[in-house]
Amino acid sequence: MAVPVQAQTSEAKSILKASLDFVASHKTIELTFDSDIEVVTPQMEKIQFTNSGEVLLNRPDKLRAHRAGGYADVTLYFDGQTASVFGNDINGYAQFSAPGTVDQLFDAMRKGYGVAMPGADLLVSRPYDVLVADVMEAKHIGRGVINGVECEHLAFRNLDTDWQLWVEVGQRPFPRKLVITSKTVNNAPQYTIRIKSWKTDFEPARDAFVFRPPAGAQKLDPNNLIMLDELPPEAPTGGSR
């Protein structure tokens, strides 16, 4: 017997809210991840780029995020006042003033510097409100297994994107996988992030969010933060960032 659409929507949103409220309830979070981003060439060929990294968050205003791929090795430091982006592979860094919260930092980087930061909405202070704001359709697909962890599989539709989330079953309903599909781009490229580990409620090192430029590091223009992107500068156009 088919599950009524309204019941599916309610169940999917209920699971999503429980998961995101659980994440938001933790002051300190450390996680590790793998991510994949697809682009579509002018010849309609899909190319995928892969990265790995880790994030350390101390709410409301401390963040360190590291991402390494085949084209860049980048660390972002935020101490509540200044954001510093260090290119480990180029020994160069950019800084800009950003007094406020991590939520405000994400907003500034997206609107002011053109950095998409897909997946960052899982870590804002009110992630459920942000993610369901534009949802037109929600479904509880069933269950799946991510890295050996049984998860609830949810699917959502927005006007421009479809996205799926896998949520760990049990007392620790952490998000384990997020897939975002860009429907307005030819061949519908996807962004995928798989969160391999979660650690919460610990005291981070006092200097964990402090950036000290290494010897010989070159200071760069903060308007050139493309090195934060998950694609190489020469990546073919037409994909989703």
Would 235 be classed as within a structural domain?
Answer: no
Q: What is the pLDDT of residue 1?
A: 45
Would 238 be classed as within a structural domain?
Answer: no
Would 162 be classed as within a structural domain?
Answer: yes
Interatomic CA distance for residues 186 and 142, integer angstroms = 29
pTM value is 0.90
Side-chain-facing half-sphere of 237: CA atoms under 13 Å: 0
Q: What is the pLDDT of residues 36-81, one digit of tens each?
A: 999 888 898 999 999 999 999 999 999 999 999 888 899 999 999 9
Would 234 be classed as within a structural domain?
Answer: no
Mean pLDDT, rounded, for 103-107 = 96
Q: What is the pLDDT of residue 236?
A: 56
Would 13 be classed as within a structural domain?
Answer: yes
Q: What is the pLDDT of residues 18-31, one digit of tens each?
A: 999 999 999 999 99
CATH number for 57: 2.50.20.10
Would 237 be classed as within a structural domain?
Answer: no
Torsion of the alpha carbons at 120, 55, 31 and 151, rounded to the nearest 10: 20
Beta partners for residue 168, in sequence order: 151
158: tokens are 């927005």
Number of folded domains that form the chain: 1
11-22 burial: b if 16+ Cβ within 10 Å, else e = bbbebbbebbeb
- Domain extent for 161: 5-228
Would 204 be classed as within a structural domain?
Answer: yes
Interatomic CA distance for residues 85 and 87, integer angstroms = 7
Put residue 215 in one of left, alpha, beta given phi > 0 → left and psi -120 to 50 → alpha. beta
Put residue 20 in one of left, alpha, beta given phi > 0 → left and psi -120 to 50 → alpha. alpha
Residue with token string 């009524």: 4
Would 208 be classed as within a structural domain?
Answer: yes
pLDDT at 197 > cutoff 70 = yes
